[in-house]
Amino acid sequence: MLSFRKTFVSGVAIAIASTSLFAAPAAAQDAAAAEEEGLTEIVVTAQRREENLQDVPLSVDVVSGEKLDAINAGGGDIRAFAGRVPSLNIESSFGRTFPRFYIRGLGNTDFDLNASQPVSIVYDDVVLENPILKGFPVFDVDRVEVLRGPQGTLFGRNTPAGIVKFDSVRPDKEGANYLKASFGRFNTAGIETGIGGKVTDSLSIRGSLSWQRRSDWVDNIDNFNNGGDLEGYADLAARLQVQYAPADNVKLRVTGQYRDFDGTARVFRANLFAPGTNNLVGLGGVNTPFRRDQVRADGLNFQKLKLYSVASNFEYDFGPATLTSVTSWWSGKYTSRGDIDGGVPAGPGFIPFSANSQDDVPDLDQFTQELRISSNNDEGLKYQAGVFYFDESLAIASFNYDTPTGLRPSVTALQQQDSKAWGVFGSLTYPVTEQLSLTAGLRYNDDKRRLDVGRGGFFGAIGNGFARVQDNNLTWDVSATYEASDAVNLYARVAKGYRAPSIQGRALFVFTTVQDAISTADSETIMSYEAGIKTQFSNRLRFNLSAFKYDLNNAQLTAVGGASNAARLINVDNVAGYGFEAELEARPVDNLSLTAGISYNSAEIDDANAFITGCGGGCTVTDPVRPGSPGIFSIDGNQLPQAPKWSVNWTAGYGVPVAGGEIYAFTDWAYRSNVNFFLYTSAEFNDDHMLEGGLRLGYRTDRFDIAGYVRNITNDASAVGGIDFNNLTGFVNEPRIYGLEASIKF
């Protein structure tokens, strides 16, 4: 606790220092200038229309501007958004290529490549379903919106937990051309650009590119079996948008995207946790300090990903309403091999046996089609309605190797998953009075999935199998917005959400013992209740507060890891959740901007008959043992994994006008409380807290910006996940990164 207090106080001190750096001249600003420098309206498309954030009857947060630039600095990927808005967590045991999202505690720790997640990612109106698609780099983006709670009556894909929505800069946006370059610690380098505009009155084109790289910075001190150093990568992504608008009421935008990632898999660290505690220990054992830049690994390690996509967005305005068609196709290939025991025969610590695994996606194809009609009127009854179709073909190949550098697997699992879904959705909004507006939405869902599995190994044929799941469900939401005054809006929302049934077909193995298991989980439903207040006093202060409660019935959970390195699906009767989110944005004086957010999330399993196996690596499980069943533990009452109860974030920025520009400082911070890594609780597999901050100091004009940056400024070292396979293996957060960044607008 003392270390937390010191870290927290040091973080606050740095934040205050950075915001006070140029505070003295602020008092000299006059009131008239203050009005001009106030808060601007935040426009969101959370309800498929451009609206003021304060008028939307949802708990929505937006990341844009300086905050978005800061998050992306220093080679940051999509995981850097974790904790930057209330109730959002993101983590990954695959590094940059397979992020797992959690909103209000709801997510999925499953590491299999067909894992179903309750949080949807929507990139330029296209749902990204498979986990390897969800890590697509964030570049040349106008804004990121986080919608909390069940969604589905306005969006193509139904989701029980929420949506993270990315909107790229459009081709016809003027004055948005830029080029940005950076270089920092560990040879972290990046180039990003977005160039476009009107070619003719009807034709607009925009090209965007992001290139990031980092050298291998984790020293594999033994270089065992020529294992080599780790954690380097090269990540290239590109986007081309062509927009044709031959008339005021017709618009067609075609987008092509590409990603090529080449790096190492996530570094796993054997016996990272001191037995009986969650203290991080060094390679020499409990009496040595932890060093993030050192590891002992003996296995082959690589990770490669290629993605391609083509999408079209067609809009036709025929007066009373607009017809929109969104068609997309994504394709990808992926391979990742890593040392899952996290060490070498000599350690660190005791490692019962060596294990090296590889997971591939030989082929992924996702096709989606959405057709939507929405009214254009500003007054009276407004409506939206649409249909959505989803078709995915996914091939997965999983291999286990009994020797660190073996090329012939001892166990194989070849899976082919085919998923089809369609939905019909609609929403009505009616202004009952000038102050009161009601919205109601309805959605019908139909989902089918089949998984075929072929398995084999040196221990004899393990067997083939298949499983089918399907379901249909009716979901809905009702909300009300009441304008109590020009400065205060009240809202309330009740929503039913749904997640389709799932299948897992991983081959479960313990050294020379193989189990043949296909697991399925029935569909889950959620009832969510939410109310909030949104306020804006003059243009200096904006404050929003929401409170929520939900019941997740027949909840789909994944028991991951253990002695069999499993990913086994289960259903539990209920997960009971409640909490709140509060957000503040202020400009108390000219050139000073402040934001703060805080959330509390309780997400507890409520099922007296929910039992799972414990770890396979000697951890100290603290849950009750099922009578007569050693090694089987009750998870009733446990907080969901990767669901911190408290999260806090804040930013501050200040600028001093000088020589045709300004010298500025911007700092951003995120804190989260304790997280557990698995469904069971143990003394080892959790982390007490994490506090990460960033600072940016620079000079900018209307065209140029040059700045020094630091990410994870306090060099906080926190475990962010674990592998409970055959020892106390874990992985940790990103190190401190610092460097220089320069950009030009034209």
CB 156 within 8 A of CB 128: no
Please report the pLDDT score of residue 31 as a whole number.
Answer: 33
**Beta strands, E only, 248-353:** 250-263, 294-295, 302-317, 321-339
Domain count, the chain: 1
Name the token pair of 453: 């599995």
The overall longest dimension of the chain from CA atoms, in Å, is 82
CB atoms closer than 10 angstroms to residue 84: 24
Q: In whole angstroms, what separates CA 100 from the centre of its chain?
A: 6
Pairing of strands 294-295, 219-220: parallel
Please report the pLDDT score of residue 400 as a whole number.
Answer: 87
Position 46 pLDDT exceeds 90? no
Bridge partners, 191 (sequence order): 181, 211
What gap in Å lies between CA 64 and CA 10, rounded to an integer?
27
Mean pLDDT rounded to a whole number for the chain:
89
State the DSSP H helix or E strand holding residue 11, giving kind and residue range, or none if neither: helix 2-20
Which SS3 state, helix, strand or coil, does residue 355 take?
coil
For residue 56, give the nearest of 37, 38, 41, 39 by alpha carbon.
41
What's the full length of the chain, in residues? 746
Pairing of strands 611-613, 632-634: antiparallel
Mean pLDDT value across residues 40-51 = 76
Tell me the CATH number at 234. 2.40.170.20
Residue type, 209: L
State the DSSP H helix or E strand holding residue 70, giving kind and residue range, or none if neither: helix 65-72
CB 648 within 8 A of CB 670: yes
What gap in Å lies between CA 394 and CA 333, rounded to an integer?
10
Q: What is the pLDDT of residues 173-218, one digit of tens each?
A: 988 999 999 999 999 999 999 999 999 999 999 999 999 999 999 9
Residue type, 190: G
Position 579 pLDDT exceeds 50? yes
Q: Say if residue 348 is preceded by a cis peptide, omega within 30 of 0.
A: yes
Residue 173 burial by CB count (10 A; 0-12/13-18/19+): exposed, middle or buried?
middle
Q: What is the pLDDT of residues 318-337, one digit of tens each?
A: 999 999 999 999 999 999 99
Name the token pair of 629: 């069943």
Mean pLDDT value across residues 246-271 = 96
Position 29 pLDDT exceeds 80? no
Position 384 pLDDT exceeds 80? yes
Position 28 pLDDT exceeds 60? no
For residue 545, give the nearest of 509, 582, 518, 493 by alpha carbon.
582
Please report the pLDDT score of residue 708 as a whole number.
Answer: 97
What gap in Å lies between CA 133 and CA 114, rounded to an integer?
11
Domain hosting residue 55, numbered range:
2-356+363-403+410-745
Q: What is the pLDDT of residues 664-721, one digit of tens each?
A: 999 999 999 999 999 999 999 999 999 999 999 999 999 999 999 999 999 999 999 9
Name the token pair of 587: 């400009």
Please report the pLDDT score of residue 226 as a whole number.
Answer: 56
For residue 435, give the nearest of 377, 494, 383, 489 by alpha carbon.
489
Which SS3 state, helix, strand or coil, does residue 723 take?
strand
What gap in Å lies between CA 732 and CA 368, rounded to an integer?
36
Q: What is the pLDDT of residues 62-88, one digit of tens each?
A: 888 888 888 888 888 999 999 999 999
Residue 311 to residues 242, 325, 370, 387, Cα–Cα distance (Å)? 11, 10, 11, 17
CB atoms closer than 10 angstroms to residue 466: 14
Please report the pLDDT score of residue 457 as a whole number.
Answer: 60
Least confident of 302-311, 599-608, 653-662: 653-662
